[in-house]
Amino acid sequence: MKLERLNPHLGARISGLKLDQLTMADRGELRARLDEHQVLFFTGQSLDARAFHRFAAIVGELQAPDDAAPSLKTMEGDLKAIHYIDVEGTARGTYSDVWHSDVSFFEQPTLGAVLQPMVLPSLGGDTLWASMYAAYEALPDSLRRVADELSALHQVAYQGQAMQCVHPVVRVNPVTGRRGLYVNRLFTKGIVGMTPVESANLLELLLGHCTLPDFQLRFHWTPDIVAVWDNRFTMHYAVRDYSEPRRMMRVGLAGERPMGLADYAAAQRQTVAA
């Protein structure tokens, strides 16, 4: 197996590994690599839907389709956890081409996702990811201290109903303790406890910062790639610059309630006391 880092902040290309030969014993190693690199691109793969589903279930617990992406079509029967990402007929700016972290409006948003192309356009259709660890770490100390204390409302309107949840603006990785910003342009609607003007200004400052090219990776797809990303500490953006069909299959992995600094400190105290 060969692992090649793709930029200083996130992304690794892994070759020489057959994903259909992995077993549950490989979960720990896969998850450690995901914590380290945030987005993994496995090259030289040709998984059918069943093998793709099996691999995803090794990376993590599969999310029920309505928890992963309530608005997307799914496969049938025991492959129902697989969604199609198919933007045919959608206009620019109406789908995944806005910086986002999947379903952050849920109490337990997706931990990560596994994505594989089914049909690719001959040009374009790249996906970008931004490291929210790198974005947090690049903030000036004073702003980091402010962000550490904040919570934000994440919300979406779906079939006439609002789905919403409040989460910490700074999220802590429960395993490594590393901190990342947890706001996104698609679903984060406001900072709790501020006037609308204060909230809009501060949110814009944070979102503008998170989407600087400095923290981003842009990936050009080829048919042999299977990607896995950490949805907790990255945002992503699917570029809508093509006119030919583009179809991907994706599985969401079940996540936990985002942990803020206070939750993390409490969990650490409990571990020490136990």
- CB 70 to ligand SIN: min, Å: 13
Residue 215: CB minimum distance to ligand SIN, A: 18
Q: What is the smallest separation between the CB atom of 252 and ligand SIN, expressed in angstroms? A: 9
Binding mask 19-58 for ligand SIN (x = CB under 6 A): ----------------------------------------
Catalytic residue among 102, 167, 179, 240: 102
Position with the least CB separation from ligand SIN: 96
- Mapped to the 3 state alphabet, what secondary structure does the chain carry? CEEEECCCCCCEEEECCCHHHCCHHHHHHHHHHHHHHCEEEECCCCCCHHHHHHHHHHHCCECCHHHHCCCCCECCHHHCCEEEEECCCCCCCCCCCCCECCCCCCCCCCCEEEEEEEECCCCCCCEEEEEHHHHHHCCCHHHHHHHHCCEEEEEEEECCEEEEEEEECEEECCCCCCEEECCCCCCEEEECCCCHHHHHHHHHHHHHHHCCHHHEEEECCCCCCEEEEECCCEEEEECCCCCCCCEEEEEEECCCCCCCHHHHHHHHHHHHHC
CB-based contact 94:205 (threshold 8 Å) = no
- Is 37 annotated in the active site? no
Q: Is 100 a catalytic residue?
A: yes
Q: Binding ligand SIN by CB under 6 A: which of 12, 39, 56, 248?
A: 248
Q: Which is nearer to ligand SIN, 120 or 259 (CB)?
A: 120
Subset of residues 77 to 96 that bind ligand SIN, contact rule: CB under 6 A: 85, 96
Q: Among 37, 154, 236, 240, indicate the residue that binds ligand SIN (CB under 6 A).
A: 236
| Closer residue to ligand SIN (CB): 229 or 264 | 229
**Residue 250 in the binding site for ligand SIN (CB under 6 A):** yes
Residue 59 is a binding residue for ligand SIN (CB under 6 A): no
User: How many amino acids of this chain bind ligand SIN (CB under 6 A)?
Assistant: 8
The reply to whether 236 belongs to the active site is yes
Q: Which residue is catalytic, options 179, 236, 240, 246?
A: 236
Annotated catalytic, 26? Answer: no
- Catalytic annotation, residues: 100, 102, 236, 250
Point out which residues bind ligand SIN (CB under 6 A). Answer: 85, 96, 115, 127, 236, 238, 248, 250
